[in-house]
Chain A
Amino acid sequence: MSAAPVKLPPLVEPASELTVDEVRRYSRHLIIPDVAMDGQKRLKNARVLCVGAGGLGSPALMYLAAAGVGTLGVIEFDTVDESNLQRQIIHGQSDIGRSKAQSARDSVREINPYVNVVLHEERLDSENVMEIFSQYDLIVDGTDNFATRYLVNDACVLLNKPYVWGSIYRFDGQAAVFWSEHGPCYRCLYPEPPPPGMVPSCAEGGVLGVLCGSIGAIQVTEAIKLLTGIGEPLVGRLMIYDALEMTYRTVKVRKDPECAVCGKNPTVTELIDYEAFCGAVSEEAIEAARDSTITPATLKQWIDAGENIQIIDVREPAEYQIVSIPGATLIPKNEFIMGDALSKLPQDKRVVLHCKSGVRSAEVLALVKAAGFSDAVHVGSGIVGWVNQIEPHKPIY
Chain B
Amino acid sequence: MTATRVQVVVNGQPESFPADTTLGALISRLRPSRTGIAVAVGDDVVPRAEWDDRPLRHGDQIEILTAVQGG
Binding site for B on A (CB under 8 A): 52, 54-57, 141-146, 149, 166-169, 172, 174, 188-195, 198-199, 201-202, 205, 207, 238, 240, 250-254, 256-258
Contact across chains for A167 and B44 when beta carbons are under 8 A apart: no
Residues of A within 8 A of B44 (CB): 251-252, 254
CB distance from A184 to the nearest CB of B (A): 8
Contact across chains for B36 and A194 when beta carbons are under 8 A apart: yes
Which of B2-10, B14-22, B61-69 forms part of the interface with chain A? B61-69
Residues of B within 8 A of A252 (CB): 43-45
Contact across chains for A254 and B37 when beta carbons are under 8 A apart: no
In the complex, A141→B47 CA distance in Å? 23
Residues of B within 8 A of A142 (CB): 71
In the complex, A307→B40 CA distance in Å? 53
* 17 more CB-based (< 8 A) A-B contacts, given A194-B35, A194-B36: A141-B71, A169-B68, A172-B68, A174-B65, A190-B37, A191-B35, A191-B48, A193-B35, A193-B36, A194-B66, A194-B67, A195-B33, A198-B32, A199-B66, A251-B44, A257-B47, A257-B49
Contact across chains for B37 and A168 when beta carbons are under 8 A apart: no
Q: Say whether, besides A193-B36, A194-B33, A194-B35, A199 and B68 are in contact (CB < 8 Å).
A: yes
Q: Say whether, besides A57-B71, A144-B69, A168-B68, A198 and B33 are in contact (CB < 8 Å).
A: yes
Instruction: Tally inter-chain residue pairs, CB-CB below 8 A.
Output: 97
Contact across chains for B35 and A258 when beta carbons are under 8 A apart: no
In the complex, A174→B70 CA distance in Å? 10
Contact across chains for B69 and A149 when beta carbons are under 8 A apart: yes
CB distance from B66 to the nearest CB of A (A): 6
The 4 closest A-B pairs by CB, nearest first: A194-B36, A202-B70, A169-B68, A256-B47
Q: Per a CB cutoff under 8 Å, which of B40, B63, B67, B70 touches A193?
A: B67
Contact across chains for A198 and B45 when beta carbons are under 8 A apart: no
Residues of B within 8 A of A172 (CB): 68
In the complex, A168→B69 CA distance in Å? 7
Contact across chains for B71 and A190 when beta carbons are under 8 A apart: no
> In chain B, what residue has the closest Cβ to A254?
B47
Contact across chains for A199 and B45 when beta carbons are under 8 A apart: no
Residues of B within 8 A of A146 (CB): 67, 69
Q: Say whether, besides A191-B35, A194-B36, A198-B33, A251 and B45 are in contact (CB < 8 Å).
A: yes
Interface centre among B47, B49, B66 (most CB of A within 10 A): B47
Contact across chains for A199 and B67 when beta carbons are under 8 A apart: yes
Residues of B within 8 A of A52 (CB): 71
Residues of B within 8 A of A238 (CB): 38, 45, 65
Q: Per a CB cutoff under 8 Å, which of B33, B36, B40, B43 touches A190?
A: B36
CB distance from B7 to the nearest CB of A (A): 21
Contact across chains for A144 and B36 when beta carbons are under 8 A apart: no
Contact across chains for B71 and A258 when beta carbons are under 8 A apart: no
CB distance from B36 to the nearest CB of A (A): 2
In the complex, A132→B56 CA distance in Å? 45
CB distance from B35 to the nearest CB of A (A): 4
CB distance from B46 to the nearest CB of A (A): 9
In the complex, A105→B35 CA distance in Å? 37
Q: Per a CB cutoff under 8 Å, which of A56, A193, A194, A257 touches B71?
A: A56
Residues of A within 8 A of B37 (CB): 190, 194
In the complex, A190→B38 CA distance in Å? 6
In the complex, A193→B44 CA distance in Å? 20
